[in-house]
Amino acid sequence: MPAVSDDDLKQRLLATSKELLARGLTEATAGNLSVRLSGDRVAMTPSSLAYESMTVEDLVVLGLDGTVLEGERAPTSEKSLHLACMRDHEDIGAAIHCHAMFATMFAVTHQPIPCVIEEFDIYVGGDVPVADYRMTGSDELGEEVARHVGERGAVLMANHGLLTVGKDPEQALKVASLVERTAQVIWGARALGDLVPLPDSTRERFAPIYKLMRQR
C-alpha cells in the first residue's frame, strides 16, 4: 500500500474534528485533536477556533519537542497532552481530547468506565482508567495521561474529560464514540441495578485482540 501523505492526514484530521462536533462529543471550541505526520511531526488543531470555520490552513504542525514548524495560529493549549502520548507510544497515530458529557461525568467522580460490553474489550482494551488530576495544559498532565494509553485506547482525566488514541483520526473518533455511548449505558444501567461483569472466559478471549489491532 502506498504511504499516506501528510496533506491527506491533515485533511482527515480536519474532517474528524468536524465530525466530533457533529456527534455531540464536544462543543464550541472545546477539545483538541492531533495526528502524527512524517518526520517526527504532529499536526494539531489550533487554540480557540470554532470547528465549523476551521480549515486545513489553520492546523499547526509541531515537532515532538513542541517547536512550532508550520502554521500561523497558536497550537492548542493542551499540546503537551498530545505530544507526550506520541513521544511515549510510537504505535499511536492520532489522539482526540474531548469533553463528552457522560464520560466526563465519570471523570469528575473519578470512576473508571468498566468494560462490561464485548466490543469495549476489542476496541478499547479493557476498563477506561482515570488519570490522576494534573493542571490543564501542563507537561505533568501529558506525562500522567501518556502512561495510561500504552495498553488502552482511552483514559479519563480527573475533573476534566476524555482522551482517546488510535492508529488514525477515524479510529480515535470511533473509540471516543464507543466510550461515550458505553458511559451512558452504564449510567442508565446502574439505575436499574448492579452491573453484571463479562465472564472471565470472554475477557480472556478478547483481551489479545486489542493488542493485535494496535500492532497493525
Question: Tell me, what CATH number does 79's domain have?
Answer: 3.40.225.10
**In a domain? residue 55:** yes
For 173, what's the count of Cα atoms within 13 Å in the CB-facing half-sphere? 22
Residue 173 structural domain: 6-215
Interatomic CA distance for residues 17 and 33, integer angstroms: 7
Low-confidence ranges of the chain (pLDDT < 50): 1
Q: Is 90 a catalytic residue?
A: no
Q: How far is CA 148 from CA 99, 111, 132, in A?
A: 18, 15, 10
Q: Reduced to 3 states, what is the DSSP secondary structure of residue 186?
A: helix
* From 52, 57, 72, 78, the catalytic residue: 78
Using DSSP's 3-state secondary structure scheme, residue 22 falls into: helix
pLDDT of residue 213: 82
Q: How far is CA 73 from CA 45, 76, 117, 181, in A?
A: 9, 9, 41, 33
Please give the Cα distance from 31 to 215 (Å, whole number): 27
pLDDT at 2: 60
Total domains present in the chain: 1
The C-alpha cell that represents 61 in the structure block: 504542525
Residue 122: inside a domain: yes
Report the pLDDT value the prediction gives residue 59, as an integer from 0 to 100. Answer: 98
Here the cell at position 190 is: 446502574
With respect to residue 1, please indicate whether it lies within any of the assigned structural domains: no
Residue with cell 465472564: 199
157 phi/psi in degrees, rounded to 5? -100, 120
Model pLDDT for residues 175-191, shown as the tens digit of each residue? 999 999 999 999 999 99
